[in-house]
Amino acid sequence: MIAAVFLRPPPGPQGYELYGEVETKTKFWGKAIDCILAGHMSIRLKAFGDEYRFNLGTLNINDIILGRFWIDLSCDMKVRNLTTGESSRLIIKPCRGYPYLKERGRCEGVVCNAEGKEVRGGGGKGVESIIIILRNEQPAAKRGRR
């Protein structure tokens, strides 16, 4: 299925425009269904004059035949400010199974300036909170990765 969307709210200085295209592919794995969302969305914020473009992730619907079904979102989302060239990357890790539902939504990401240098980074749980910190106090090569 391919879908296109264009949304323009009532006129005003604080408005926005949202548009994009999405192709949905589904895979049935016996106990689960993966909904892969390929494409991109863009949002233009009128008050700031910025336009952002981002890709979408994968939605997993698990344990659909027996047990308590649960939904998980995982993705490697890249967001780019088309006006300034700044970008960010957010990785939402997939949950490992029903016993690990408390880990669902774990994510980490970085924010890069227009030259591609990491200026902020952080992580957390997308369903609770995400903490972003400045990264200019230590060089990128010495930072520990999880």
Closest CA to 62 of 92, 33, 95, 104: 33
Domain at 105, CATH number: 2.40.160.120
Count CB atoms within 10 A of the CB of residue 47. Answer: 10
Distances (CA, A) of 13 to 6, 9, 37, 46: 19, 11, 32, 6
Q: Which helix (H) or strand (E) holds 28?
A: strand 16-28
Overall domain count for the chain: 1
Segment 62-104, tens digit of pLDDT:
888 888 888 888 889 999 999 999 999 999 888 877 767 777 8
139: pLDDT strictly greater than 80: no
Structure confidence at residue 144 (pLDDT): 47
Domain range for 55 is 2-142
